[in-house]
Amino acid sequence: MNVLVIGSGGREHALVLAIKKSKSLDKLFCLPGNPGTKLLAQNIELPLTDFKSISTFCKQNRIDLVVIGPEQPLVEGLSDWLRANNINVFGPSSEAARIESSKSFAKWLMNKANVPTAKFWEFTAEEYGKAVSFISECDFPIVIKADGLAAGKGVSICKNFEQALEAVNLLSIDKIFGTAGNKFVIEEFLEGEEASVFAITDGESFITLPAAQDHKRIGDNDTGKNTGGMGSYAPAPLVTSELELEIKEKIF
């Protein structure tokens, strides 16, 4: 198989490293890649926004599978474009990617599917006064999130009104995340461990990957602002031990 990985970060480097080990692999490309992926695959210099050039490259190089890592090209419809051109893609459609690109949509979907989630309220930048009035009556801490993609940095955990007002100002007035902050979500604060469990599905069946945890906040002991990703580890011992305990209780 000839495989093309889309992206340039550490996630894509890990994908390239894993795919490289496959016995089914013939040629491996990474677009645009990074210095690390260059040691494992052939980096391709094409804009991620140039869907037509990407599909042309795939056809010219007989790409059997495209693996898309970053959220942005998924949200913008790259997977839809490639599938429309009869190219196999590992990655959700733009509509499915809304779970990542819109926090309010994700919360609405969880409520509809009865998935437990923190209470939330949504506001637009034009509802600035309404949002300020709301946070003035909140019990703190609260969580304020930019609705759109913010490279993993759009979340503020606010311990008091002053911090919450600053977060709202940064989103609504200063526009530090551009259009991603045109709408924002205010959530109740839940304290505890956080882990991610990913399921891969073709729409009919699915498999789950080991639970993972990442390093969210920049300071020691979970302090400071959220980061765009400082590394992760899997399986997550916390989830693994909890599952093992649950299984033992059911068996014995």
Whether residue 77 sits in one domain with residue 113: no
Query: So what's the pLDDT on residue 252?
Result: 45
Query: CATH code at 79?
Result: 3.40.50.20
Q: How far apart are CA 23 and CA 162, in angstroms?
A: 57
Residue 246 has pLDDT above 90, yes or no: no
Higher pLDDT, 122 or 179: 122
Residue 13 has pLDDT above 70, yes or no: yes
Query: So what's the pLDDT on residue 220?
Result: 82
Contact criterion met (CB below 8 Å) for 90 and 66 = yes
Residue closest to 90 by CA, chosen among 68, 71, 64? 68
**What's the mean pLDDT in 92-106?**
92
Domain count, the chain: 3
Task: Determine, yes or no, domain membership for 223.
Answer: no
Contact criterion met (CB below 8 Å) for 145 and 178 = no
pLDDT bin (cut points 50, 70, 90) of residue 178 is confident
The two structure tokens encoding residue 208: 């789950």
Task: Determine, yes or no, domain membership for 222.
Answer: no
Whether residue 47 sits in one domain with residue 64: yes
pLDDT, tens digit (0-9, with 9 covering 90-100), for 63-98: 999 999 999 999 999 999 999 999 999 999 999 999
Higher pLDDT, 127 or 240: 127
Q: How far apart are CA 62 and CA 20, in angstroms?
A: 17
Task: Determine, yes or no, domain membership for 219.
Answer: no
Q: How far apart are CA 215 and CA 195, in angstroms?
A: 10
Whether residue 112 sits in one domain with residue 64: no
Q: How, if at all, do strands 217-219 and 223-226 pair?
A: antiparallel
Q: How far apart are CA 210 and CA 17, in angstroms?
A: 18
Task: Determine, yes or no, domain membership for 220.
Answer: no
CA distance to 31, 191, 210, per residue, from 235 (Å): 28, 21, 5
pLDDT, tens digit (0-9, with 9 covering 90-100), for 128-153: 999 999 999 999 999 999 998 876 67
Residue 109 has pLDDT above 80, yes or no: yes
Residue 229 has pLDDT above 90, yes or no: no
Contact criterion met (CB below 8 Å) for 28 and 3 = yes
Task: Determine, yes or no, domain membership for 221.
Answer: no
Query: So what's the pLDDT on residue 208?
Result: 87
Q: How, if at all, do strands 120-124 and 42-43 pair?
A: unpaired
pTM of the model: 0.83
Whether residue 176 sits in one domain with residue 123: yes
Task: Determine, yes or no, domain membership for 224.
Answer: no
Q: How far apart are CA 197 and CA 236, in angstroms?
A: 10
Mean pLDDT of the chain: 90
Q: How, if at all, do strands 42-43 and 65-68 pair?
A: unpaired
pLDDT bin (cut points 50, 70, 90) of residue 231 is confident
Task: Determine, yes or no, domain membership for 108.
Answer: yes
Whether residue 91 sits in one domain with residue 40: yes
Query: CATH code at 144?
Result: 3.30.1490.20
- Which domain covers residue 20, as residue numbers? 2-95
pLDDT bin (cut points 50, 70, 90) of residue 250 is low
100-104, 121-125, 183-187, 217-221: range with lowest mean pLDDT: 217-221
Residue 59 has pLDDT above 90, yes or no: yes
Whether residue 133 sits in one domain with residue 68: no
Q: Which among 44, 66, 95 is the end of a domain?
A: 95
Whether residue 132 sits in one domain with residue 91: no
Residue 203 has pLDDT above 50, yes or no: yes
Tokens 């016995």 sit at which residue? 23
Q: How, if at all, do strands 27-32 and 213-214 pair?
A: unpaired
| Amino acid (one-letter) located at 216 | K
Higher pLDDT, 33 or 226: 33
Is omega for the bond preceding 70 within 30 degrees of 0, making it cis? no
